Amino acid sequence: MYVPRSFDASDVAFCHAVMRAYPFAPIVTADLTASHLPFLVEDRGPLGTLLGHVARASPHHDELGKGNEALVTFTGPHAYVSPTWYEPGPAVPTWNYCAVHAYGTPRLLDEAATRAYLGTLAAHFDAGYRFDSLPEDYLVKMVRAIVAFELPIARLQGKAKLSQNRSPADAARVADALAASSVEGDRDVAKWMRAGGPIDAGGSSGQ
């Protein structure tokens, strides 16, 4: 990913905040196969560890177990930026956005670790659902139907293009215009611009 210095947001805290706020992402392996998956982000390792799973029926799980590097791309909020929002002068349309690229080598998990991961995944996204309350024979069947994996992150790239290349007056006008939009994603970009980074459920900056 091309990351100009003014848009570089590769610090671990920022990247983890983006990944946790937008956890559904594609993983691409060396054979250019891609699967779109929900990911858990753990703090294990210097750059963190991702956890995910694919259906055992998917041929992608064979590639995930070959020991080759894979790429997971997380897309944060994004919005069109009109040049009419800038102070008078020549300008072109552009796009504001945040993105994170996480690189690492996936490792397949055994059945016990897969079952533990599924319980954690369910609790993370649905606190009212009890995964372990399902009938044992059904649980065994479900666990054996998937292949879970962990991906220790070896390299992180974060990019936050939030009008840092414009004057403070232009950036403020862009944030104001996006905040007034009827599109939720536009308003999210405005919040991130004003906060200087990802916004959590409590409305504070993730940086």
Structure tokens at 14: 């920022």
Give residue limits of the domains in the chain.
5-167
Residues 66-107 have pLDDT tens digits of 999 999 999 999 999 999 999 999 999 999 999 999 999 999
The pLDDT tens digits of the residues spanning 165-201 come to 999 999 999 999 999 999 999 999 999 999 876 654 3
- Residue 203: the pLDDT is 35
Q: What pLDDT, in 10s, does the model give residues 123-162?
A: 999 999 988 889 999 999 999 999 999 999 999 999 999 9
Give the pair of three-digit tokens for residue 85.
């929002």
| Chain segment 17-49, per-residue pLDDT in tens | 999 999 999 999 999 999 999 999 999 999 999
**Whole-angstrom Cα distance, residue 52 to residue 56?**
13
Task: Report the CATH fold assignment for 5-167.
Answer: Pnp Oxidase; Chain A (2.30.110)
> Taking the chain, what is the end-to-end CA distance rounded to the nearest angstrom?
21
Res 202: pLDDT:
32
Q: What is the pLDDT of residue 199?
A: 54
Distance CA 177, CA 180 (A): 5
Per-residue pLDDT at 204: 35
| pLDDT score, position 200 | 47
- 3-state SS assignment for residue 23: coil
